[in-house]
Amino acid sequence: MTEARPALLCRMNFSTHRSLPAPHSAKGVSLIEAVMFIVVVSVALVVVLKAFDIANQGSANPVLRRQSLAIAQSLLDEISAKPFGDAATDDPAQGGFAGPYTSANRQWFDDIDDYNGFSMSGIRSLDNSVLTGLSNYQAAVAVTAAAFGTVPATAGWRITVTVTNPAGAQLALDSYRANY
Per-residue pLDDT tens digits for 147-164: 988 888 888 999 999 999
Give CA separation, 42 vs 27, 46, 51, 57, 60, in Å.
25, 6, 14, 22, 29
Chain center to CA of 177: 29
Instruction: Write down the pLDDT at residue 128.
Output: 82
* pLDDT, the chain, mean: 81
Instruction: Write down the pLDDT at residue 10.
Output: 47
Cα angle vertex 163, ends 162, 164, to 5°?
A: 125
3-state secondary structure the chain: CCCHHHHHHHHHHHHHCCCCCCHHHCCCCCHHHHHHHHHHHHHHHHHHHHHHHHHHHCCHHHHHHHHHHHHHHHHHHHHHCCCCCCHHHHCHHHCCCCCCCCHHHHHHCCCHHHHCCCEEECCECCCCCECCCCCCCEEEEEEEECCECCECHHHEEEEEEEEECCCCCEEEEEEEEECC
pLDDT band at 69 (very low <50, low <70, confident <90, very high): very high
Spatial neighbors of 111 by CB under 8 A, at least 6 apart, are 82, 83, 84, 85, 86, 89, 90, 96
Mean pLDDT of 63-83: 91
Q: Cα separation of 97 and 160, whole Å?
A: 21
Most confident of 41-50, 94-103, 151-160: 41-50
Instruction: Write down the pLDDT at residue 87.
Output: 57
Task: Give the full edge-to-edge strand order of the sheet including 156-164.
Answer: 119-121, 138-145, 156-164, 170-178
Residue 91 pLDDT > 80, yes or no?
A: no
The verdict on pTM exceeding 0.75 is no
